[in-house]
């Protein structure tokens, strides 16, 4: 039975878009078409697949003037920031540039008797379940390399960003990617689980909540379907005693508050050496007090509403519990804070790891700041988490950053940077943040399987 997916705009709570879900049979038929189309797509020359994918990427760029306000209406990001095409294009372009290397056979050896090598072959049908917070950039992380590697792709986007998959499919089809090779599909949770359990896909890439990732694994149990999961995060920043204070404040606070704090690798907790703590807090407060909360369609707005009222409630509850337990909330309520999706960005001090706001994912415009006395104390606090996506270290000493980074349980270590995805590096996490890895050469390895050739020559 078909259901209706409804995108509620955080701007004013109105219905922005609705789409009916596919029935289970319609979804199975779509997956069958993807499977039947895969061999012919993989048989095309690599450069042809690259050219078609990059033409699809360019076609998305041509829609950017429409996409930017559409994103503001769907998930609240201010139009002043210009959308996601820069990162979308950067990631796809990098994967196109390294495709020949990432997919090249591994030559083991050849002599008069034997030729031996390992090929990378596509998995088949790749199912991408994308999140709403960076709906284009997160989707392209897998869509581009999966298609380039010779897989067919089915994309299911979040209800909050209901129109993104349609946009991408329209762009890629207009560029010449066959319709059955890249499909956008609207699915209910039950139909999604049924398809995975029925071995409709050869690989599932999911970005979302820990609970969502667990549901994906349960659906895939016993099917031997591979999964790549990017789940929750509670990313720390550590400001050492020799840090560039102004740069650390500007970058870490932006990393905590940009996109209303709704970033996979956003900064959610900050540890500052005691010698810089007071100055850091003072400068951080000045930055946040200068934000303009409001309608994301207004070019003067610097921080928009959270994507959904229920997301804002989680953040408000965490802040209230922390304050009741002894934390100090420094930012007075903004006049535009409506108690709903429009939420005052907040900085908390006197926080401890007994508080939810320092342990559970907030995914909103709030950050707790703690004073530390040593690298050892900071490392222990950074590792005192169920999550591990990124950690941001601030120091002028590269060796020190590497030494501290080696001891942090995380997927990516940044030095003097935060909240950025470098497509040349593997995007990965540990603990409850998930498993697998995207982008880089490793991204290609995770979207293909090795196939070994042991060829004995006929000799007389």
What SS3 class is residue 304?
coil
The rounded distance, in Å, linking the Cα atoms of 393 and 241 is 11
Beta-bridged to residue 117, according to DSSP, are: 107, 453
Concatenated DSSP letters for 49-100?
HHHHHHHHHHHHHHTHHHHHHHHHHHH---GGG--SHHHHHHHHHHHHHTHH
Task: Determine how many CB atoms are found less than 10 A away from the CB of residue 396.
Answer: 12
- Cβ-based neighbour number of residue 303 at 10 Å: 26
Cα–Cα distance, 38 to 47 (Å, whole number):
17
Q: List CB contacts of 191: < 8 A, sequence separation 6 or more.
A: 21, 22, 23, 24, 27
Name every residue whose Cβ is closer than 8 Å to that of residue 400 and which is 6 or more positions away in sequence.
240, 375
Distance CA 402, CA 208 (A): 29
What number of other Cβ atoms are within 10 A of residue 33's Cβ? 18
Buried b (16+ CB within 10 A) or exposed e, 223-248: eebbbbbbbbbbbbbbbbeebeeeeb
**456 Cβ contact list (under 8 Å, min separation 6):** 113, 114
Residues 6 or more apart whose CB falls under 8 angstroms from that of 313 comprise none
Residues catalogued as catalytic: 230, 264
């Amino acid at each position: 039975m078909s259901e209706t997916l409804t995108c509620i705009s955080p701007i004013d709570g109105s219905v922005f878009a609705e789409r009916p879900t596919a029935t289970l049979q319609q979804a199975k038929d779509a997956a069958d078409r993807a499977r039947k189309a895969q061999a012919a797509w993989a048989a095309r020359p690599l450069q042809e697949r690259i050219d078609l994918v990059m033409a699809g990427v360019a076609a998305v760029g041509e829609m950017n003037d429409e996409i930017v306000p559409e994103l503001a209406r769907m998930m609240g990001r201010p139009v002043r920031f210009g959308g996601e095409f820069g990162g979308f294009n950067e990631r796809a372009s990098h994967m196109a540039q390294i495709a020949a290397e990432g997919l090249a056979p591994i030559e083991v050896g050849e002599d008069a008797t034997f030729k031996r090598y390992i090929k990378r072959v596509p998995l088949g049908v790749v199912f991408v379940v994308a999140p709403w917070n960076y709906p284009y950039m997160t989707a392209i992380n897998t869509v581009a390399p999966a298609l380039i590697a010779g897989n067919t792709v089915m994309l299911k986007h979040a209800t909050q960003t209901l129109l993104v998959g349609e946009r991408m499919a329209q762009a890629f089809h207009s560029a010449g990617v066959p319709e059955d090779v890249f499909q956008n599909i609207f699915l209910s949770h039950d139909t999604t689980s049924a398809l995975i359990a029925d071995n409709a896909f050869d690989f599932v890439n999911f970005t979302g909540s820990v609970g969502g990732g667990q549901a994906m694994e349960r659906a895939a149990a016993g099917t031997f379907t591979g999964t790549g999961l990017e789940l929750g995060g509670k990313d720390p920043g550590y400001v050492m005693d020799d840090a560039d204070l102004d740069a650390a404040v500007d970058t870490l606070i932006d990393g905590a508050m940009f996109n209303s704090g709704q970033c996979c690798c956003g900064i959610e907790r900050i540890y500052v050496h005691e010698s810089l703590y007071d100055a850091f807090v003072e400068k951080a407060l000045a930055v946040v007090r200068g934000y303009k909360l409001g309608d994301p369609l207004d070019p003067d707005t610097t921080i928009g509403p959270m994507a959904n009222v229920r997301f804002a409630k989680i953040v408000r509850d965490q802040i209230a519990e922390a304050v009741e337990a002894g934390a100090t909330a420094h930012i007075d309520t903004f006049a535009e804070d409506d108690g709903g999706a429009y939420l005052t960005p907040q900085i908390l001090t006197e926080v401890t790891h007994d508080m939810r706001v320092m342990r559970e994912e907030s995914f909103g415009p709030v950050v707790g700041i703690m004073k530390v006395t040593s690298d050892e104390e900071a490392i222990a606090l950074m590792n005192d988490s169920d999550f591990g996506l990124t950690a941001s270290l601030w120091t002028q000493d590269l060796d020190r950053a590497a030494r501290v980074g080696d001891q942090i349980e995380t997927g990516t270590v940044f030095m003097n940077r935060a909240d950025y995805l470098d497509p040349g590096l593997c995007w990965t996490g540990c603990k409850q943040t998930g498993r697998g890895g995207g982008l880089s050469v490793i991204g290609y390895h995770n979207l293909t399987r090795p196939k070994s050739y042991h060829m004995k020559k006929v000799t007389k």
